[in-house]
Amino acid sequence: MTTFTESYFTMTETDAIIYAKDHLTFFSEDAELSCKEIGDGNLNYVFRLVDSKSGDSLIIKQAGPVARISDEFKVSPDRNRIEHDILKIQGELVPEFVPEVYHYDPIMNCTAMQDLSNYTILRKAFLTHQTFPQLADHVSSFLVNTLLLTSDLVLGHKEKKDQVKAFINPELCEITEDLVYTEPFYDCPRNEVFEGTLPFVREEIWSDETLKLETAKLKFQFLTKAQSLIHGDFHTGSIFVTEDQTKVIDAEFAFYGPAGYDIGNIIANLIFAYVNGEQTIYDPIERERFTGYILTTIQDIINQFKEKFTYAFFDHVTERVAEYPGFLEHYLEELLADTAAVCGLELSRRVIGLAPVQDLTDIADPDKRAAAEIACLKAAKVFILNRHDFFHGEDFTRVLQEHT
């Protein structure tokens, strides 16, 4: 019989059922459990367990020793601890926007959490052009509360340094350092560029020395700027939605990094939904409805973030010097420059690098796919090179409209 106490192994569906019966108090003694592995991400195994008697269900997420996407990535299963620990913190800061956590096991490197099967992954919902009127409100609140309340603006500096230590995440950070900040900007063998887009990439990205220098500066910012406890992979595949609820998952890339990383990431992924809509929706009224919604959502996320951040700043700031006149404005300006830059980096890496997004790869017509990808790259260059010119939501959408 399988035992779980001695050492780690990757579970099968049957193991997950035995594990739940032995280790979790969530199901009743006489539960009749079934299990399916439903993970479709790049890294982990996700088991959904259902009790056919009561209908109760939960998720067990287990980190394997290598990434699912490729065994080239040997990533420590300790990422499951990071994900569990940040879920606990987010559960205090933004309980309405994260799943409930029931159990963590440091030997099996797994976490049991709320089953969100009645939700849809936002990226998938966008591919069928669904819209969510409260998304900008929810995303901006999530970002303000997680990014401000974990920063030196609010936490005592010793406590913050303890948190920096607890969330040291070298292997997952290395994936980002390589896949986001390095490989897309030279002809790296691991890149996967679509044929129709390749000439643009060769001429306008890999040959642009000015752009490359800026990406080098940004990489060093990512390596050194321990500003806030960031999610670290805040794209539309990390957000579950219903019509009126939003839950953020998959924070295993979390560490203390530049706060603009999370904001720029989600804006770039909204842009992928926008270019997909532009290229695949034939009816002009329907196209306008969907792309108009994405533009408004981008503007609202940025503008509501600034507004909510300003209110929360005056409510929560404890650092004396941060109250000097002009400091808040300086902080927000820098945050928005970092946001614009990361937006450009994420746009580039999903077109050029190893981990593409379905919003682009699902565009069946090769000319339309190339048009969408080149639009992303043209906008990306503006976001990176002119990153100090972004102050309002409209500044972000203007770039998009000028390049699509």
The alpha-helical segments, DSSP class H, found in 180-325 are 198-200, 209-224, 260-280, 284-316
Closer residue to ligand SR1, CB minimum distance, 265 or 404: 265
What are phi and psi for residue 119, nearest 5 degrees? Answer: -100, 165
Interface with ligand SR1 (CB under 6 A), residue from 32, 54, 65, 69: 69
Only one of the segments 65-73, 140-148, 285-293, 315-323 lies at the binding site for ligand SR1 (rule: CB under 6 A); that segment is 65-73
B/e letters for 47-84, b = 16+ CB within 10 Å, e = fewer, are bbbbbeeeeebbbbbbbbeebeeeeebebebbbbbbbb
CB of 43 to ligand SR1, least distance (A): 6
Interface with ligand SR1 (CB under 6 A), residue from 179, 294, 340, 372: 179
The answer to whether 104 and 82 are in contact (CB under 8 A) is no
Interface with Mg ion (CB under 5 A), residue from 20, 31, 35, 41: 41
Question: x/- site string to ligand SR1, residues 215 to 254, per CB under 6 A?
Answer: ------------------x---------------------
Only one of the segments 1-9, 147-155, 173-181, 222-230 lies at the binding site for ligand SR1 (rule: CB under 6 A); that segment is 173-181
CA distance 159 to 155: 6
Give every CB contact of residue 56 below 8 A, 6+ residues apart in sequence. Answer: 26, 27, 31, 50
The answer to whether 152 and 160 are in contact (CB under 8 A) is yes
- Nearest Cα neighbor of 39 from 215, 252, 181 is 252
Question: x/- site string to Mg ion, residues 196 to 235, per CB under 5 A?
Answer: ----------------------------------------
Closer residue to ligand SR1, CB minimum distance, 43 or 275: 43
83: tokens are 């994900």
Residue 44's binding partner out of ligand SR1, Mg ion, none, with CB under 5 to 8 Å set by partner kind = none
CB of 294 to Mg ion, least distance (A): 22
Does residue 192 belong to the site contacting ligand SR1 (CB under 6 A)?
A: no
Q: What residue ranges bind ligand SR1 (CB under 6 A)?
A: 42-43, 67, 69, 73, 175-176, 179, 233, 355
